[in-house]
Amino acid sequence: MTDVAGAPGTTDRADAPEPAGERRGSEALHFARRNPKLLIGSGIVLAFMLLGFIGPFFLSDNPNEYVGPQTQPPNGEYWFGTTTFGQDIWAQFVYGVRSTFVIGLFGGGVAFLIGMTVGFVAGYKGGIVDDILNMLTNVVLVLPAMVVLIVAIAYLDVRGLFTQGMFIGLSAWPWAARAVRSQTLSLATRDYVDLARLSGRRTWRIITTEVAPNMSSYLVMSFILLFGGAVLTAAGLDFIGLGPSNGVSLGAMLQSAVNWSALQLGMWWWFVPPGLGITAIVGALYVLNVGLDEVFNPKLREL
């Protein structure tokens, strides 16, 4: 028998179990363009990102320079005013936004890589490998991360953005590993994974080409949450004075504002911009995450 159009068994299945590929891609785009949470969230994040990465080219190299009159409220020349020492708060803010994104991308990225590797290997391999990796994950999960970070970072002589990002990454991965592991456990039992093994594929290629693409939306959302978490942790560390030495960040700005009694002196322009900046970036990331969730998960869509 050849395939005759319309013959039983040869018709296209209208009730296909999982919509996929192009159709799913364009469908996601269709809902993405109509999702206000996604649009607002990504709009704010993107605006801050552009500010942080393009802004510094229009400003002096050293935002901590004493450039102008002291204790000026916002005005035409110094948009966000100046500090007690005459530093330009706008310049500090722009550089601070940049370091916020660097720490988010790097710290979140490190955590994401470790979490993904551990989660995929544990979920796919199973057995004793899973037991060991899961135990490690649980141990790191219950470590009081902030305390460990404070102790570890306090002992370092030279602190840069990258050391800070690395430490944040090394402490933030466990929940991502657990999330990825549970998804992998379910996907690894599908027949197409067995079929890939019968096709002579290596384990890591099966993970990257069969398992990971099926949970790409899940991975994107994990990364966003890790990014936001890293930004918050970094702000916390900076605020207690364990930020990058000689650097500038939104957390460090808050710290010096508190150190020099900006609140008591009524210098609101010193602490409001960095506080609002952190809140806006992390808040927008979470709104973006909820939006993405609605786009990828049909059950949450508002039609």
Burial group, residue 201, by CB count within 10 angstroms (0-12, 13-18, 19+)? middle
The nearest distance, CB 8 to other proteins, in angstroms, is 5
Question: Alpha-carbon distance 276 to 193, whole Å?
Answer: 47
Question: Alpha-carbon distance 177 to 130, whole Å?
Answer: 11
- Map tokens 């592991």 to a residue: 181
**DSSP codes of every residue in 38-102:** HHHHHHHHHHHHHHHHHGGGGS-S-TTSB-S-SSPPS-SSSTT-B-TT-BBHHHHHHHHHHHHHH
Of residues 10 and 70, the one with the C-beta less far from other proteins: 10
The nearest distance, CB 22 to other proteins, in angstroms, is 8
The nearest distance, CB 146 to other proteins, in angstroms, is 33
Burial group, residue 147, by CB count within 10 angstroms (0-12, 13-18, 19+)? exposed
The nearest distance, CB 295 to other proteins, in angstroms, is 16
DSSP assigned state of 243: S
Of residues 16 and 142, the one with the C-beta less far from other proteins: 16
The nearest distance, CB 19 to other proteins, in angstroms, is 6
Of residues 22 and 302, the one with the C-beta less far from other proteins: 22
Of residues 147 and 198, the one with the C-beta less far from other proteins: 198
Of residues 34 and 202, the one with the C-beta less far from other proteins: 202
Question: Alpha-carbon distance 297 to 272, whole Å?
Answer: 37
**Other residues' Cβ atoms within 10 Å of the Cβ of residue 180:** 27
Residue 39: which residues within 8 A CB-CB, separation 6 or more? 33, 291
Of residues 28 and 170, the one with the C-beta less far from other proteins: 28
The nearest distance, CB 142 to other proteins, in angstroms, is 21
Of residues 14 and 142, the one with the C-beta less far from other proteins: 14
Q: Which two tokens stand for residue 76?
A: 């035409």
The nearest distance, CB 126 to other proteins, in angstroms, is 12
- Map tokens 């693409």 to a residue: 213
The nearest distance, CB 204 to other proteins, in angstroms, is 11
CA 295 remoteness from chain centre: 18
Of residues 77 and 194, the one with the C-beta less far from other proteins: 194
Tell me how far apart the 2 most distant CA atoms of the chain are, in Å: 89
Question: Alpha-carbon distance 131 to 162, whole Å?
Answer: 32
Binding site for other proteins (CB under 8 A): 1-3, 5, 7-13, 16-24, 190-192, 194-202, 210, 213-214
